Amino acid sequence: MDLKLPNPIRPAFTATGRDDHVIVNIGPSHPATHGTVQIIAELDGEKVIRTDVHCGFLHRGFEKECEAHTWHNLIPFVDRLNYCSALINNFAYCAAVEELAGIEITPRCRHLRTLLSEYSRIADHLTCVAAALMELGAMTAFLYLVMIRDYIYEHIANLTGARVTYTYGRIGGLARDLPDGWLTRLSEILDQFETFVGRVHGLVDRNRIFIDRMRDVGVITPADAISWGCTGPILRSTGLARDLRKDTPYLAYADLDFEVPVGIKGDNYDRYYVRMREMDESVHMIRQLVETLPDGPVSIVDHRYVLPEKDLVYTEIESLISHFKFVIDGPRIPAGEVYTAHEAANGELGFYLVSTGQGVPWKVHVRSPSYVHLGATHRMLDGYQLADIVPTFGSVNMIGGECDR
């Protein structure tokens, strides 16, 4: 067949280094590349010599679209960056806007945001570990982990009204307070989590097949990880205990007791284990937060930045006007620029905002961990086997939404 299909990418190399090498194309339509990544690899037999990793298949013009919507209307957009832990995106974005506007959130809001961030981190790590295990054929472990993740999704849906993209953060607070009985169900889920994650530890930690596929595969050194901009579990798997929650505490993290788990080699096994241990720490943090959760309002009262209460909108003219001005013009955020970073499930999630004092941002830039990690992925793929691409790529946990934006 002499049919050339159009290729939206231009590979970094089209000729092999040696005559007996071949170049193969992997993805983007391959389940293990999560549907959005294309890898051009030069192979010597089954060994990967070099790779050229491409993304962009899920690019939706996030940053361009942000410049045409009000600060408030961006909250649903940021949900769709890392859709495995949308709440962390919500809170990081709101924190950046609040920094610019000089807003101090209420103690209850600070605690709830911390609690929900950790809860989302568990859901995100469960997704990553479950998918990586399934790609290696561990279907039972996948079902155990995804079952717990689904309990978490349903439970957060009980609070926010949505399973995945919650739009629950608000500038200056949260959409609503916890419903009755929410914390009781939370402690039930955390207990079940421990049972099922314990079973997964038993199934895979010392499993010969798992160790052979994961240990000493996809190794990245601490120096390389820093140079290539890795943060989050990938950086910690190399042995560096760098975590923004500890190093530059934000929200309520300064008041919490937790450890920063690290790996020893920076290989796939360490990335798996760091994520598993981080979930344990998150559970530990959530239990502390539930015990110390303060009473009080979840949002500040400031009609410049926060929507008025709905019953006031229906009963008094000032709130009605305020509501309409807020929805149509958007909250006027003071002019300036700010970079705020939170420790998302994948690493440093930074929002760089530029405001000219209008209701619409002048610029919104996302420093997404997945995009930077994608640039570093070739360091973990080159030199290993073709079949290792799947577990290594799974352990990088590239989320298309935040990588391609």
Partner 1 sequence: MAAETLEQVAGALAAEGREIALSHGMLAIVTAPADVGVVVRRLQSDFAFDLFLDVTAVDWPAQEPRFEVVWHFYSTRHFSRVRVKTRVPESDPVVDTLIPLYGSAAVMERECHEMYGIRFRGNADLRPMLLYEGFVGHPLRKDYVKEHEQPLVPYLK
Strand partners, 336: 355
Q: Does 194 bind partner 1 (CB under 8 A)?
A: no
Among 4, 18, 206, 208, binds partner 1 (CB under 8 A): 4
**Residues touching partner 1, count (CB under 8 A):** 53
In whole angstroms, the minimum distance from the beta carbon of 337 to partner 1 comes to 7
Instruction: With contacts defined by CB under 8 A, name the span among 135-143, 241-249, 267-275, 384-392 that binds partner 1.
Output: 241-249
Q: Tell me the C-alpha distance between 121 and 118, whole Å.
A: 5
Q: Of 95 and 389, which CB lies nearer to partner 1 in the complex structure?
A: 95
Sign, Cα dihedral of 184, 190, 193, 198: negative
* Site track for partner 1 across 377-396, x = CB under 8 A: --x-----------------
Q: Tell me the C-alpha distance between 227 and 206, whole Å.
A: 32
Q: Of 34 and 213, which CB lies nearer to partner 1 in the complex structure?
A: 34
243 membership: H or E segment, kind and range: none
Q: Of 314 and 339, which CB lies nearer to partner 1 in the complex structure?
A: 339
Q: Does 201 bind partner 1 (CB under 8 A)?
A: no
Q: Tell me the C-alpha distance between 173 and 195, whole Å.
A: 34
Q: Does 10 bind partner 1 (CB under 8 A)?
A: yes
Residue 9 C-beta-side C-alpha neighbours within 13 Å: 19
Q: Tell me the C-alpha distance between 315 and 319, whole Å.
A: 8
The type of residue at 63 is: E
Alpha helices in 253-368 (DSSP H): 268-292, 310-315, 317-329
Indicate the DSSP class of residue 49: E
Query: Which residues in 316-375 contact partner 1 (CB under 8 A)?
Result: 336-341, 348, 350, 352, 354, 362-363, 365, 367, 371-372, 374-375
Q: Does 59 bind partner 1 (CB under 8 A)?
A: yes
In whole angstroms, the minimum distance from the beta carbon of 219 to partner 1 comes to 16
Residue 149's CB is within 10 A of a number of other CB atoms, namely 20
- What are the φ and ψ backbone dihedral angles of 233, each rounded to 5 degrees? -55, -30
Among 25, 99, 185, 203, binds partner 1 (CB under 8 A): 99
Q: Of 355 and 397, which CB lies nearer to partner 1 in the complex structure?
A: 355
* Site track for partner 1 across 63-92, x = CB under 8 A: xxx-xx------------------------
In whole angstroms, the minimum distance from the beta carbon of 342 to partner 1 comes to 13
Q: Does 242 bind partner 1 (CB under 8 A)?
A: yes
3-state SS, residue 309: coil
Q: Does 404 bind partner 1 (CB under 8 A)?
A: yes
* Exposure class string for 54-71: b at 16+ Cβ within 10 A, else e: bbbbbeeebeeebeebbb
Question: Encoding tokens for residue 96?
Answer: 């950046």
- Closest of 176, 173, 177, 178 to residue 105, by C-alpha: 173
Q: Of 284 and 367, which CB lies nearer to partner 1 in the complex structure?
A: 367
Q: Tell me the C-alpha distance between 206 and 55, whole Å.
A: 34
Q: Does 239 bind partner 1 (CB under 8 A)?
A: no
In whole angstroms, the minimum distance from the beta carbon of 252 to partner 1 comes to 18
| DSSP string for residues in 32-93 | GGTTT-EEEEEEETTEEEEEEEE--TT---HHHHHTTS-TGGGHHHHHTTSTTSHHHHHHHH
Chain contacts with partner 1 (rule: CB under 8 A): 3-10, 12, 54-56, 59, 61, 63-65, 67-68, 99-100, 224, 226-229, 231, 240, 242, 247-248, 336-341, 348, 350, 352, 354, 362-363, 365, 367, 371-372, 374-376, 379, 404-405
